[in-house]
């Protein structure tokens, strides 16, 4: 909006048209990706003739997977995914590069180590009250 108003400070109609064009170029692709992702998720959740033991044919780039990618340990992918989730990059800019898609797919399908959790003793109310004295 700021760019549209800066480009057309005295012409509200042109500013509105510029804003609409920018929105169509930068935001609408994400709407279309969301529709496709929802349809794919629905298809995947429905019973099919394929065996449930069959591995997935391709990495899924749903929101949960994208969040995992930000913690993948690859700072370049984390930055890319963050920019993508913030609508700073369009799907074409992200998924248009086969090398990037391959890196994203590898990170999305990689096994994640299970974090070791150390069980600390639970604090009771009495413990907390004693610590506050």
Is residue 86 within 8 Å of 126, Cβ to Cβ?
no
Question: Burial, 104: exposed, middle or buried (Cβ in 10 Å; 0-12, 13-18, 19+)?
Answer: buried
The pLDDT of residue 114 is 59
The pLDDT of residue 49 is 46
pTM of the complete model = 0.49
Render pLDDT for 54-105 as a digit per residue (tens, 0 to 9).
555 455 566 677 777 777 777 888 888 788 878 788 878 888 888 888 887 7
Is residue 41 within 8 Å of 62, Cβ to Cβ?
yes
* SS percent in the chain: helix, strand, coil, step 5: 60, 0, 40
First to last CA, the chain: 55
Instruction: Return contacts of 121-125, CB within 8 angstroms, 24+ apart.
Output: none
Mean pLDDT of the chain: 77
Q: Which token pair is 53?
A: 């033991």
Q: What pLDDT band is residue 117 in, cutting at 50, 70 and 90?
A: low
């Amino acid at each position: 909006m700021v760019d549209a108003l800066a480009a057309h400070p005295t012409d509200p109609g042109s500013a509105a048209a510029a804003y609409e064009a920018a929105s169509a170029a930068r935001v609408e692709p994400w709407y279309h990706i969301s529709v496709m992702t929802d349809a794919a998720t629905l298809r995947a959740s429905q019973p099919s003739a394929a065996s449930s033991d069959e591995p997935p044919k391709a990495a899924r780039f749903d929101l949960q997977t994208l969040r995992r990618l930000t913690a993948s340990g690859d700072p370049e992918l984390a930055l890319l995914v963050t920019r993508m989730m913030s609508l700073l990059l369009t799907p074409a800019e992200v998924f248009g590069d086969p090398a990037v898609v391959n890196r994203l797919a590898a990170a999305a399908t990689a096994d994640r180590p299970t974090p070791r959790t150390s069980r600390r003793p639970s604090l009771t109310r009495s413990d907390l009250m004693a610590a506050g004295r």
